[in-house]
Chains A and B, each alone.
Chain A
């Protein structure tokens, strides 16, 4: 089973700053299988990026993704107040495991 490890566990930033979230896999993952989700308190997750870098419907272009092999990154170029949430990566391939999440909080 592929294990996804996200870092940092918590990221404290201010609106307007740039956020960089990491997702590392225990073995190589195809870029086409890497997905990012956002979850706000009391809400279901919603997809942000699929295939590592493709934005899902309605996702603003301040969200971008990159990476390959075992290292993937979600970048939020300029944080808006509504971006403070928990972010999960998932590999949608041989199994469907999620990372443990990164909480993005207001500094």
Chain B
């Protein structure tokens, strides 16, 4: 089955760290780039980070730059998001999503179900 499954979400105190994982199955992991997108409770979608198919072209939203690090492991078919210095405003459901490109257009064609991160004292 073609799917992405996120894990690692938890309740953590402000200032602490957390690492999210996203495991892929049903397609060739090494062929695709991935993104992390988050959604605070009752709010809209916020783009967080992206990584290219070869681990390059990494980018971050300004709100997480310097605190979050995206990475991937082809052997484990997994995407990661290392989150340091967590803030209450990082509380959200975190989705990983796979990139698909057709001609000159790209978009996020496959999403996981998300993993919940709650930052609270």
Name the CB-closest residue of B to A35. B107
Q: Is A27's CB within 8 Å of the partner chain B?
A: no
**Contact-residue bracket for chain B:** 20 to 34
A50's contact among B45, B107, B112, B114, by CB below 8 Å, is which?
B107
Q: Using an 8 Å CB-CB cutoff, how does the interface string of A28-40 with B read, 1 for contact, 0 for none?
A: 0000110101010
B109's contact among A39, A56, A86, by CB below 8 Å, is which?
A56
Q: Using an 8 Å CB-CB cutoff, how does the interface string of B39-64 with A read, 1 for contact, 0 for none?
A: 00000111100100000000101100
Q: Is B28's CB within 8 Å of the partner chain A?
A: no
B77 nearest CB across to chain A (Å): 19
Contact B47 A56 (CB under 8 A): no
Count contacts on A: residues with CB < 8 A to the other chain.
Answer: 26
Contact A98 B112 (CB under 8 A): no
- Complex Cα distance, B101 from A70, in Å, reads 22
- Complex Cα distance, B99 from A33, in Å, reads 13
Q: Is A97's CB within 8 Å of the partner chain B?
A: yes
A32's contact among B45, B105, B109, by CB below 8 Å, is which?
B105
Q: Is B121's CB within 8 Å of the partner chain A?
A: no
Q: Is B35's CB within 8 Å of the partner chain A?
A: yes
- Complex Cα distance, B63 from A1, in Å, reads 12
The 8 closest A-B pairs by CB, nearest first: A51-B105, A44-B111, A50-B107, A96-B47, A35-B107, A98-B45, A32-B104, A101-B44
Q: List B residues at the A interface (Cβ < 8 Å).
A: 35, 37, 44-47, 50, 59, 61-62, 95, 102-109, 111-114
- In addition to A32-B105, A44-B114, A90-B45, 15 A-B residue pairs with Cβ atoms within 8 Å of each other are A1-B62, A32-B103, A32-B104, A35-B105, A35-B108, A37-B45, A45-B95, A45-B111, A47-B109, A50-B106, A54-B102, A56-B107, A92-B106, A95-B59, A96-B59
Task: Show 23 residue pairs from A and B whose CB-CB distance is below 8 angstroms, ordered by the A residue.
Answer: A32-B104, A32-B105, A33-B105, A35-B107, A37-B45, A44-B95, A44-B113, A44-B114, A47-B108, A50-B102, A50-B106, A51-B102, A51-B104, A51-B105, A54-B102, A86-B44, A90-B47, A92-B105, A92-B106, A92-B108, A96-B35, A96-B47, A98-B37
